Structure 1
Amino acid sequence: MDQQLRVFITVAEKKNFSRAAEELHMTQPAVSQYIRALEEDFNVRLLERSNKYVRLNKAGEIVYHHAKEIAGLHSRMNLLVDDLVNKASGPLSIGASYTFGEYVLPHIIAKMKDIYPEVKPAVVIGNTAEIAHSVLRHQLDVGIVEGHSNQDEHLSTKEFAKDTMILVAASHHPLVKQKTEIQIKDLENETWILREKGSGTREAAEKLFHQLDISPKEIMNFGSTQAIKEMIEAGSGVSLLSEWAVQKELRNGDLKTVDIKGLPLARNFFILTNSPFQTKALKVFVDMLHKEKELTEFSKADRLG
C-alpha cells in the first residue's frame, strides 16, 4: 500500500504525530512530510491540528474511510498471492450475527484450530446489518448472518444452514400454564422483549407479527440475547428466539416454549463474502462450515438433552 496512506491512517488513528511516528518507527518530521505531501496531492487540508489534538476534518474522513478499504484490499491481495505457494495460514477475520456467533461458531473455530493451527481467526460479533456492512467495506473476510440487509445485493450470499425460531417464556408464565388454546389477543397484550432493529432475530419476530396480523402493545428492545433471556426468566414478557440460543435454559426448565399456530418458524443462515478470490484460510473455514453442518443442524433431542 502507498506509504502516504499508511502514514495518514496511523496519524488519524493515533490522533498524534509523535505517537504515529513511534508506531511507524519514523521521525516526527518524516511523518509530517508525508502528511503535507498527501494534502498537496489532494489540494486540500485533511487534518485539523492544534497543540492539543490532531483530528480529521470532512475531507480527511473521506480519505480515511477509503484508505482503510484500500489497506484491507492490499492485505488480502498479499495473502492471496502467498496462498499460491503456502498452506492455509495467516489471519482470518470472521464476522457473525449474535445467535450464530455466540452459540455455534466457537465450536467450529475450535475444530478448525485443531486441524489448521496456522490459521489465526479473529471474530467480530454484531447484528446482521453491521456484519454485512463490514464485509462490504472489506473490514471482514467473511460474515455469517441470519436474515437479510439492504447491502446483500452487493455481496456474494450463500445459504448454508437452517435455524428454528420458537416463542419462549418463563416456566411460571401464565401462557405456559394456560390449559386453553392461546388466542391472538393474548399475544398482542403481551410484552415482547426483542433484539434491536437490524438484527436477523428481530426480522424474524416482525415476520411472525405480520403472519399473525398482530401489533404488540408493548415492545422492549435489547442489544443482547443474554439480557433478553434474563428478562424472560424474570417473568417480564415473551420473546421469539433461536433454539440454539435457549437450549440450556429449555433443558434446565428455566424457560418453556409457548405453542402457537405458525411456530416454530424456520429461517436460514447465510455466508457473506465480497471477493471472487479466497485465501486458503477462508476456503478451509467455509469448507468446514459446510462439512460441519451437524454442529448447527443437530437433532432436537441433542439440543434439549
Structure 2
Amino acid sequence: MNIVQLKTFLVLAECLNVTETSVRMNCTQPAVSARIRNLEEECNVLLFDRIGKRVYLTKQGAVFRDYVKNAVDILQTATDHLKQMDDPLSGCVKFGATNFIGTYFLPPFLGLYRRDYPNISFEVNISCSSDILGRLEDNSVEFVVLSDQISIDESRYHVQNICDDEMILVVAPDHPLAESQQCTVDELENYNFLLKGDGSSTHGFVLEKIHAMGGRLGSVMHISSTEAIKQGVMYGLGISFLSRFTVSHEMETARLCEVPLESVCFKRKIRFIYREEKRLSAPSERFLATLLESMMAESPRK
C-alpha cells in the first residue's frame, strides 16, 4: 500500500470512472485497475463493485475512503510543513501569547510584518499563561511570548528577552492627580484602584513593588480584563498601573494621563520562549529575529 495507490483510490471513489481517473492520475487505465486490485488484495476486501462498464463504491469502500482521505491530508500537511521550514518568507508562524502581549504589544508589529512579507500567515493563540504554556508543552504552538513575571523552568526552555515593559500610573484627565508633577508612594492609599485579580502576575508585580517601598494602595476593585480597566480609568472609576504599550494611544489623544511615581520604577521583561529540544521552523526563526531587531532599533528612542 503506497500513497499513489491511495490517491488513485480517492480519485476513482470520487468520479467512479476508470478513464477519468487515469487522466487525472496521468497513468493508463490498466495501471488504475492494477492499483485498485492491489489495494483490495492488501485489505482483503472488495472496495468497488464492477457492474458492466461502471464501478460503484461498496459499503466497505465508503468506510475506507474516509480513512484514506484523512491519511492523505495528514501526509500533505506534513509535506507542506517540511517545504515551509526551508522558506523563511512563506508559511505559517504559530505561537501563543498572554492577553496583554497578544492584544497590545504584538499587533502593530504583526501588521508591519505581514505588509513586508505577504506570504507569511499567523496563528496566534491568546490566553492565560498556564494555557499557552500547556500548548507549548503539547507542541501545538512553536513558541510563546510572555512577561518575566511568569515563572518557568529555564533549564527546559530557551528564553530570549525582547524588550522592557514599563508599568505606569495612569489617571483620567480630570482626576486630581492629572496635574501633579509627581506622586509619592504614601499618597497611593488615598485613591481607588482598578487592578486584575490576585491570581494575575501583573497584580502580584505591582503590589510587590509598592509594599517594598513601604506603601499600600487604597480600595481596590478587581477587574479581569485589561481593556475594561483602561476604560474604567478613562471614565473615572479609579486609577491603575498599566503597561505603557497598553495606553500609548489614549495618552497620545489625551484620554489618559501619566503620573510619575516617586522612586519607583515598574519594569518587567517581555520575552519569547520555546522548548530547548525544539527546532523552530524557518518562518518562525525569521519572525523572531526581525522582532528582536525591531525592538533594539526602537529602544534608544524610548
TM-score (structure 1 length as normaliser): 0.64
Question: In structure 2, how many angstroms separate the alpha carbons of the residues matched to 1:76 and 1:145?
Answer: 29
Q: Deviations over 1:49-107 (max 9, x none)?
A: xxxxxxxxxxxxxxxxxxxxxxxxx9998677435655543332222223332223122
Question: In structure 2, how many angstroms separate the alpha carbons of the residues matched to 1:26 and 1:148?
Answer: 54
Distance change >3 Å, CA 104–CA 195, structure 1 → 2: same
Question: In structure 2, how many angstroms separate the alpha carbons of the residues matched to 1:106 and 1:100?
Answer: 9
Distance change >3 Å, CA 84–CA 238, structure 1 → 2: closer
Amino acid at match of 1:113: R
Question: In structure 2, how many angstroms separate the alpha carbons of the residues matched to 1:213 and 1:184?
Answer: 8
For residue 152 of structure 1, report the CA deviation from its aligned partner: 4.0
For residue 280 of structure 1, report the CA deviation from its aligned partner: 0.9
Distance change >3 Å, CA 79–CA 174, structure 1 → 2: same
Q: Deviations over 1:21-60 (max 9, x none)?
A: xxxx9749x99xxxxxxxxxxxxxxxxxxxxxxxxxxxxx
Question: In structure 2, how many angstroms separate the alpha carbons of the residues matched to 1:81 and 1:213?
Answer: 56
Distance change >3 Å, CA 110–CA 265, structure 1 → 2: same
Q: Which runs of 5+ in 1 are unaligned?
A: 1-24, 32-73, 301-305
Question: In structure 1, how many angstroms separate the alpha carbons of the residues matched to 2:254 and 2:134?
Answer: 38
Would you say the 8 A contact 1:129–1:198 is kept in 2?
no
Distance change >3 Å, CA 86–CA 268, structure 1 → 2: closer
User: What SS does the aligned partner of 1:292 have?
Assistant: helix
Aligned to 1:107: 108
Aligned to 2:70: none
Aligned to 2:173: 171
Amino acid at match of 1:277: R
Q: Which of 283, 286, 290 is equivalent to 1:284?
A: 286
Aligned to 1:249: 250
What does 1:234-245 align with in structure 2 at a 5 Å threshold? 234-245=235-246
Distance change >3 Å, CA 250–CA 86, structure 1 → 2: closer
Provide runs of 4+ in structure 1 moved above 6 Å.
74-80
For residue 208 of structure 1, report the CA deviation from its aligned partner: 2.1
Question: In structure 1, how many angstroms separate the alpha carbons of the residues matched to 2:127 and 2:296?
Answer: 24
Would you say the 8 A contact 1:194–1:220 is kept in 2?
yes
Question: In structure 2, how many angstroms separate the alpha carbons of the residues matched to 1:240 and 1:233?
Answer: 13
What does 1:142-221 align with in structure 2 at a 5 Å threshold? 142-153=143-154, 154-177=156-179, 182-221=183-222
Distance change >3 Å, CA 157–CA 84, structure 1 → 2: closer
Aligned to 2:231: 230
Aligned to 2:131: 130
Q: Deviations over 1:130-175 (max 9, x none)?
A: 3333323323212111133233433222112112211111122223
Question: In structure 2, how many angstroms separate the alpha carbons of the residues matched to 1:99 and 1:156?
Answer: 22
Equivalent pairs: percent with the same residue? 22
For residue 224 of structure 1, report the CA deviation from its aligned partner: 1.9
Q: Deviations over 1:183-228 (max 9, x none)?
A: 5443124222112445443343123223323343422222222111
Aligned to 2:93: 92
Amino acid at match of 2:83: D
Distance change >3 Å, CA 270–CA 75, structure 1 → 2: farther
User: What SS does the aligned partner of 2:280 have?
Assistant: coil
Question: In structure 2, how many angstroms separate the alpha carbons of the residues matched to 1:158 and 1:85?
Answer: 23
Would you say the 8 A contact 1:163–1:268 is kept in 2?
yes
User: What SS does the aligned partner of 2:206 have?
Assistant: helix
Question: In structure 2, how many angstroms separate the alpha carbons of the residues matched to 1:229 and 1:218?
Answer: 17
Distance change >3 Å, CA 258–CA 111, structure 1 → 2: closer
Question: In structure 2, how many angstroms separate the alpha carbons of the residues matched to 1:295 and 1:200?
Answer: 28
User: What SS does the aligned partner of 1:162 have?
Assistant: strand
Q: Which runs of 5+ in 2 are unaligned?
A: 1-60, 68-74
Distance change >3 Å, CA 140–CA 298, structure 1 → 2: farther
For residue 239 of structure 1, report the CA deviation from its aligned partner: 0.9
Would you say the 8 A contact 1:94–1:140 is kept in 2?
yes
Distance change >3 Å, CA 206–CA 152, structure 1 → 2: farther
Amino acid at match of 1:118: N
Question: In structure 1, how many angstroms separate the alpha carbons of the residues matched to 2:195 and 2:113?
Answer: 33
